[in-house]
Amino acid sequence: MSIVSIPASAQMAVPKAKTVSGEKLFGQQCGACHATKPGEIRVGPSLAGIIGRKAASQRGYGYSPALRKSGLTWTRDSMDKWLTDSGTTVRGTTMVYSQADAAKRRAIIDYLNTLPR
């Protein structure tokens, strides 16, 4: 039995993974319920300027008692935990979301970080 060696130049190139668009993911996974325009309320509150904001602080939106009592401030880390599994992060929250893919969570958080207050 002989082993055949294939030169690197003849090997099939593996395409690089595409960069995940946080704006597109937001539109697909969050945009039906959350606006990016400050003060606009849909099913959920606007996420404009959310990074750095205290959780449950947007006026005019009826947050769950659990989120109001959470004491969270939306940092990149707390948002990552929330997007990983909101129900585990704040037990009793009315928003249920879970994104297992760390790259997708990071892309969404990067996008949220670009939104003006």
Cα–Cα dist 82/110, whole Å: 14
Domain assignment present for 12: no
Cα–Cα dist 42/32, whole Å: 8
Convert the pLDDT of each residue in 4-48 to its tens digit.
Answer: 655 656 566 666 666 779 999 999 999 999 999 999 999 999 999
Domain assignment present for 71: yes
Query: For the domain that residue 67 is a member of, what is the CATH number?
Result: 1.10.760.10
Phi-psi region of 42 (alpha: psi -120 to 50; beta: other; left: phi over 0): beta
Convert the pLDDT of each residue in 57-112 to its tens digit.
Answer: 999 999 999 999 999 999 999 999 999 999 999 999 999 999 999 999 999 999 99
Domain assignment present for 25: yes
Instruction: Count structural domains, the chain.
Output: 1
The pLDDT of residue 11: 62
The whole-model pTM stands at 0.82
Query: Which domain, by its residues, includes 33?
Result: 20-112
Cα–Cα dist 8/77, whole Å: 42
